[in-house]
Amino acid sequence: MPQIESTSVRSRQVSTILRQLREKSGKTAAEVARALGMSASKLSRIETGHRGLRISDVAALLGYYKVSEARREEILDIVRKADEQGWWLSQGTGLPEVWKELVDFESRATRIQNYELAFIPGLLQTDEYTAAVVQGINQAITDAELSKLVASRMARQSVLRRRNLQFLAVIDESALHRAIGEEGVMRRQLRHLIDMAERPNITIRVVPLSAGAHAGLRGPFAILDFEEEPSIAYVENHGTCLFLEEKDDLAGYRVALNNILKEALSPAKSVELITGLAGRT
């Protein structure tokens, strides 16, 4: 059976997990390499993500660190799913596959910070709002395709029920004024935001129109942080989505988010603004 080897974002995340497991075990790289009969340089390349991961190598390391069977299968499954397109995906008509990739990351994240310029964040959208957005962007979509996309988005929102996930949604006020869908759709969407803001793990902040030009005008993005994996940034634009994990890229998006937050209203003032708009819509 051929070995699976990859240098995608997924495999590099596993590299970080393996390094952390070794550090927790108190073993040096030399000790682990000697015990498993591999060179120290090979183990170093595995832990730094400078080489693709082989199932056999990862399985051997997980066995040595006495990882539980459930956690072992979870990590090996990440390696199996990894491929050369793990960080760059063409959406085309396969949008649910892109969401599946994103959902997998979201399911393990402990914090998600999402900035949106033109629309309500996907994790906070109502089904009718989602349908109206998709139809507006792709007027040729069939009813069956639309139903599938909406169902995918609604299923994705289940991550918000996780108590260990903190979700920050930063929304440009222009998205709250945009008339999406038939009469009543936007009003119900705004009221949904108000309800979601009451959850202890969800924070909503609005960048008011009075902020003028700000760092968020470059476009939407999300930053995902994990307990045992390197953080990533997710950027979606014109039919492609990009997962970024390089330190410089992440630092740039964190700076952008901080600058955007300087212009944003407080959570309380944000809900007050949304409530006012919902009453007038």
Indicate the domain borders of the chain. 9-81, 88-280
Choosing among 3.40.50.1950, 3.10.50.40, 1.10.8.60, 1.10.260.40, the CATH entry for 9-81 is 1.10.260.40
Topology of domain 88-280, per CATH?
Endonuclease; Chain A (3.30.870)
pLDDT digits (tens, 9 = 90+) for 153-210: 898 899 999 989 999 999 999 999 999 999 999 999 999 999 999 999 999 999 999 9
Q: What CA–CA distances, in Å, run from 53 to 29, 71, 84?
A: 17, 17, 12
pLDDT digits (tens, 9 = 90+) for 102-128: 887 888 899 999 999 999 999 999 999
For residues 20-29, give the mean pLDDT: 92
Q: Give the count of beta carbons closer than 10 Å to the beta carbon of residue 260.
A: 23
The 3-state DSSP class for residue 50 equals coil
Phi and psi at residue 278, to the nearest 5°: -65, -30
Round the CA-based radius of gyration of the chain to a whole number and report it: 21
